[in-house]
Structure 1
Amino acid sequence: MSSTAQAAASLTGSGGQSRFTRGWQIVAALAVTQTIGYGVLYYAFSVFLTPMARELSASQTQVAAALTLSILIAALCAPAAGRRLDARGGRGLMSVGSILGMAALLAWSRVESLWQLYAVFAAVGIACAMVLYEAAFAVIIAWYGGDGRGRAGGLLALTIVAGFASAIFIPLTGLLVDAYGWRQALVVLALLYGLTAIPLHALVIRRRPRAAGTAATAQQRSEIVKAAVRRRPFWLLVIAFTANGGAVATIAVLLVTYLIHLGHSPVLAATLAGLLGVLSVTGRLITTGLQTRLPAALIAAAIFALQGVAVLSLPLLGRSVAGAIGCVLGFGLGFGIASITLPHLLVGRYGTAAYATLSGRIAVFSVADKALAPLGAVALAQSAGYTWVMTVVAAACAIAAFALVAYHRL
């Protein structure tokens, strides 16, 4: 093949489409499936909690444990999913995961006891590991490879759209439950997810064509992973994003309750908590813009530190409306930046060949902490008070910030 033909081939994908066009088709498809996936497999649960507990004759704590179980299962499955993504790409894994997710939702609509609910949510957790952010990021990173601008733009577009999942699906689920009851609402959501995600994952997701001899072998990927986990930078990333993930999850669960505890009305508390989703989009835009001028680790460290100051100030300033707004704004700017900063840091240091495997290793810790930290925070609040909870969250933010500063210096 001549050099001209090779250049032309490098710019085209299957069917003569440019890689740019195909790349944005993949990003658009994943933006849709991530929005629906998070909305249905995660955020809708809060709406189903009360009617499920009532019909299953169980406490809300017993029912809520099902969601915690699914998150822990997703964390445990993350390394295996990452290895599969690096070796085979996302098309097959995400297609099968979409089928499993739809089946689990349909089974959820038929549960009659707690053990059945827990079994269903174990399946939901496996599906989440196969289809949500970690898998979607791996697909985008593998497609764009060394194209940093394309990769950053794709990840930003995906997370901005999916950031509205809660704003869309919590009210939509509420309307469906009011109109049809929780069981029929689940059937509707299952069909919406399956009929959207399965064809998009199966028909749109592709691996980027590679020149002969450029694809990493399993042995090469294994060596990259072994070298990474033996050195300090990888574990600093684990510390940073595990600590921040637990802090964010704790505030997401307890913010409304704590604002009410500080004397605010339930309506104001819910409104302020709702700002977190909007602010996560703002924080991602700011972070992506600054990454062209400043080191990503230091940007994230500064924002994590701001979160710590904001949450530590909440017991002091949060009794006034202005103070509460200011603290929520400060914390909310960092609410979604971990999801776009970690891929940037992993690819920058280790390349793209073993990205999903390394991301899966980190997810074991960070996702598990997101599941367990709110439970510990509730127990601490009941035994020692909310001020101690906010202090621990601020300390976690500080640990995350210091870990990223140390990472940058290595």
Structure 2
Amino acid sequence: MRSAIGSHQLTVSPAPSVRLAVVIPALGIAQIASWGSLYYAFAVLSGPIQVELNIDQPVLFGAFTLALLVSALTAPRTGKAIDRFGGKRILCAGSVIAALALAALGLAINVPMVYVAWILAGLAMPMALYDPAFATLHQLAPDRYRKSVSALTLFGGFASTVFWPITALLNAEIGWRMTLVAFAAVQLFICLPLHALVLPAFPRRALPSEVGEPKGLLTKAADTMPGMRFYLLGGAFAAALFVFGALSVHLLSLLQLGGLTVAQAVMVASVIGPMQVMGRTMELALASRFQPSQVGRFSLALLCIALVLLSMTAGSVAGGFAFAALYGLSNGLLTIVRGTLPADLFPAYPLGGLLGRLARPGLLAMALAPLSYAFMASSGATFAWRAFAMSGLAALALVLLWAATWRHRQLAKPVSTRDSESM
């Protein structure tokens, strides 16, 4: 089989027969565990870590920011490795490095050790989270890729729901150190076997010398990305992820600044997770009717409306619920769009490298967003100005995405019977 890249062609072996009904649950369970232990558990464990190690909050959160920066810097190379060696090997390596990172953090006794542990976590993130899983699905069954991504993200949507209470319970029973060691064991004895034993081996990509291609073609093809449309898309994702990154940390305080009590703010925020899952369910059910570009524009339009609504209904619980519902739908849909739209816009490019390069600006935005918002808050900005700033970034994301997809046209394809049967 040959796949076109630019004016050249690369030779790959035929893809193995794949049962996505087995592969997707395996990847989904691993994604819940990886997101839960590498990302969501920090919100619960940061307090006890800070107290026991006597670390200032900005210093501790700086380590988490460093992890995201490391992830942003290494994501493109990780993407190239996925294209060359297959997602299975990268996911297995990611599970091992994640286990080392979690164990190292559990053993940390000072700030340098904490930072080394989070650097390891930053190396693990682009190897263990969504992007390599998405690329693996595309490698195994490109004709069923969009529905596969939608189904996989349904699992990932439960990561915080599962791991926040589990982390809190384990911390209360065995302490934060043993909790992290337990999560390291989950990586080694659950995630690693799922990746190693359930995922089919990726068909080896032939070397240029083996198929008579010009020397260096694979490297050149992987290093060359599309032009302006690619950068517009990366900018759109980065602006949107800046909003999500800031609000994932500061939403409760923002809602309280708007006039809600702590209990009301927590109740409003609790709606976001289920609405994310609902958005992904909607995308899975309606995938055959809408192009990924249409879903992307819709998700960012929802984000704009949600933030405008928030700014207009300060202190209203009903307004807060409406905001959270639209915000959750937007976040849930955009997670899928980040995996499916690049494959739709740039079908001739290896997806691992494509997702890796698109991940860099988004991860940088997520790393800088909480700190940037904190500076805005410390300046005394009012609730209205904070909501306005977030809505402005959401609008920028929508404009950039619209520009990136303006000229894109794709013929509607009938839903494959194989696709529906395999799912």
Change (3 A) 1:209 1:186: closer
Find the counterpart in structure 1 of residue 388 from structure 2: 391
Find the counterpart in structure 1 of residue 31 from structure 2: 34
The letter for the 1-side match of 2:101 is: A
Given candidates 297, 305, 312, the residue that maps to 1:316 is: 312
Q: Does residue 341 in structure 1 map to residue 337 in structure 2?
A: yes
- Any conservation in 1 of the 2:268–2:317 contact (CA below 8 Å)? no
- Any conservation in 1 of the 2:292–2:341 contact (CA below 8 Å)? yes
> 2: CA distance between counterparts of 1:221 and 1:273?
46
Change (3 A) 1:291 1:223: farther
Question: 1:56 offset after TM fit, Å?
Answer: 0.9
Change (3 A) 1:379 1:212: closer
Q: Deviations over 1:355-395 (max 9, x none)?
A: 11011111110011011112101211221233222112111
Question: 1:399 offset after TM fit, Å?
Answer: 1.3
> 1: CA distance between counterparts of 2:286 and 2:396?
22
TM-score of the superposed pair, with normalisation by structure 1: 0.89
| Moved >3 Å (runs of 4+) | 10-13, 207-229, 287-291
Find the counterpart in structure 2 of residue 196 from structure 1: 190
Given candidates 276, 283, 287, the residue that maps to 1:287 is: 283
Question: 1:312 offset after TM fit, Å?
Answer: 2.2
- Any conservation in 2 of the 1:279–1:329 contact (CA below 8 Å)? yes
Find the counterpart in structure 1 of residue 417 from structure 2: none
Given candidates 261, 276, 286, the residue that maps to 2:272 is: 276
Alignment of 1:314-393 (within 5 A): 314-351=310-347, 354-383=350-379, 384-393=381-390
Question: 1:353 offset after TM fit, Å?
Answer: 5.0
> 2: CA distance between counterparts of 1:103 and 1:226?
30
Which region of structure 1 is more displaced relative to structure 2, 97-106 or 346-355?
346-355
Find the counterpart in structure 1 of residue 91 from structure 2: 94
Given candidates 150, 164, 168, the residue that maps to 2:158 is: 164
Alignment of 1:184-223 (within 5 A): 184-209=178-203, 219=216, 221-223=218-220
Given candidates 135, 141, 144, the residue that maps to 1:144 is: 141
Unaligned runs of 5+ in 2: 1-12, 408-423
- Any conservation in 2 of the 1:82–1:356 contact (CA below 8 Å)? yes
CA RMSD for the aligned pairs?
A: 2.4
Q: Does residue 235 in structure 1 map to residue 231 in structure 2?
A: yes
The letter for the 2-side match of 1:157 is: A
> 2: CA distance between counterparts of 1:312 and 1:12?
47
Change (3 A) 1:267 1:107: same
The letter for the 2-side match of 1:206 is: P
Change (3 A) 1:386 1:354: same
Change (3 A) 1:224 1:340: farther
Find the counterpart in structure 1 of residue 176 from structure 2: 182
> 1: CA distance between counterparts of 2:295 and 2:147?
17
- Any conservation in 2 of the 1:24–1:154 contact (CA below 8 Å)? no
Give percent identity, aligned residues only. 30
Change (3 A) 1:220 1:212: closer
> 2: CA distance between counterparts of 1:12 and 1:86?
14
Given candidates 66, 70, 74, the residue that maps to 1:69 is: 66
Change (3 A) 1:114 1:301: same
Partner SS state of residue 330, structure 2: coil
Given candidates 399, 409, 414, the residue that maps to 1:402 is: 399
- Any conservation in 1 of the 2:295–2:333 contact (CA below 8 Å)? no
Given candidates 40, 43, 47, the residue that maps to 1:43 is: 40
Q: Deviations over 1:226-267 (max 9, x none)?
A: 5533x2111111111111111111122111111122222222
The letter for the 1-side match of 2:320 is: A
Which region of structure 1 is more displaced relative to structure 2, 162-171 or 215-224?
215-224
Partner SS state of residue 333, structure 1: helix
The letter for the 1-side match of 2:387 is: M
Which region of structure 1 is more displaced relative to structure 2, 372-381 or 184-193?
184-193
Which region of structure 1 is more displaced relative to structure 2, 308-317 or 209-218?
209-218
> 2: CA distance between counterparts of 1:265 and 1:87?
52
- Any conservation in 2 of the 1:31–1:162 contact (CA below 8 Å)? yes
Given candidates 142, 154, 157, the residue that maps to 2:148 is: 154
Find the counterpart in structure 1 of residue 294 from structure 2: 298
Partner SS state of residue 335, structure 1: helix
Unaligned runs of 5+ in 1: 1-9, 14-18
> 1: CA distance between counterparts of 2:134 and 2:377?
35
Count matched residues. Answer: 391
The letter for the 2-side match of 1:196 is: I
- Any conservation in 1 of the 2:259–2:314 contact (CA below 8 Å)? no
Partner SS state of residue 181, structure 1: helix
The letter for the 2-side match of 1:78 is: A
